[in-house]
Amino acid sequence: MTSRRTFLQTTALTSAAATLSSSILWSATRPAKDKLGVALVGLGYYSTDLLAPALQKTKNCYLASIVTGTPAKAEKWKKQYNIPDKNIYNYQNFDQIANNPDIDVIYVVLPPSMHEEYVVRAAKAGKHVWCEKPMAVTAKECQNMIDACAKNKVSLSIGYRLQHEPNTQEYVKGLRDGKIGKVLMVNCAAAYYDARTDHWKQKKEMGGGVMYDMGVYAIQGARLATGEEPIAVTAQQYTTRPDVYKNGLDETSMAQFIFPSGARASIQSSYGMNMNYLHVTGSKGTLMMEPYSAYNGVKGAWSNGGTINHPYDVPTEQVMQMDDDAAAIMNKKPMLVPGEEGLRDIKIVEAIYAAAKSGREVKIS
| Digit-coded pLDDT (tens) for 196-241 | 999 999 999 999 999 999 999 999 999 999 999 999 999 999 999 9
Measure the CA–CA gap between 220 and 227, rounded to whole angstroms.
Answer: 10
Q: Report the catalytic residues.
A: 133, 217
Q: What is the mean pLDDT of residues 25-43?
A: 75
The CATH homologous superfamily to which domain 162-311+338-363 belongs is: Dihydrodipicolinate Reductase; domain 2 (3.30.360.10)
| Domain 2-158 belongs in CATH node 3.30.499.10 | no
Whether 1 shows a pLDDT value over 50: the answer reads: no
Write the CA distances from 262 to 2, 55, 58, 174, 265, integer angstroms.
45, 43, 42, 20, 10
| 88 HSE (CA, 13 A, CB side) | 18
Separation between Cα atoms, residue 64 and residue 41, nearest integer Å: 12
Gap between the Cα atoms of 120 and 125, Å rounded: 9
Domain boundaries, the chain: 2-158, 162-311+338-363
**Average pLDDT over the chain, rounded to whole?**
92
pLDDT in tens, 344-363: 999 999 999 999 999 999 99
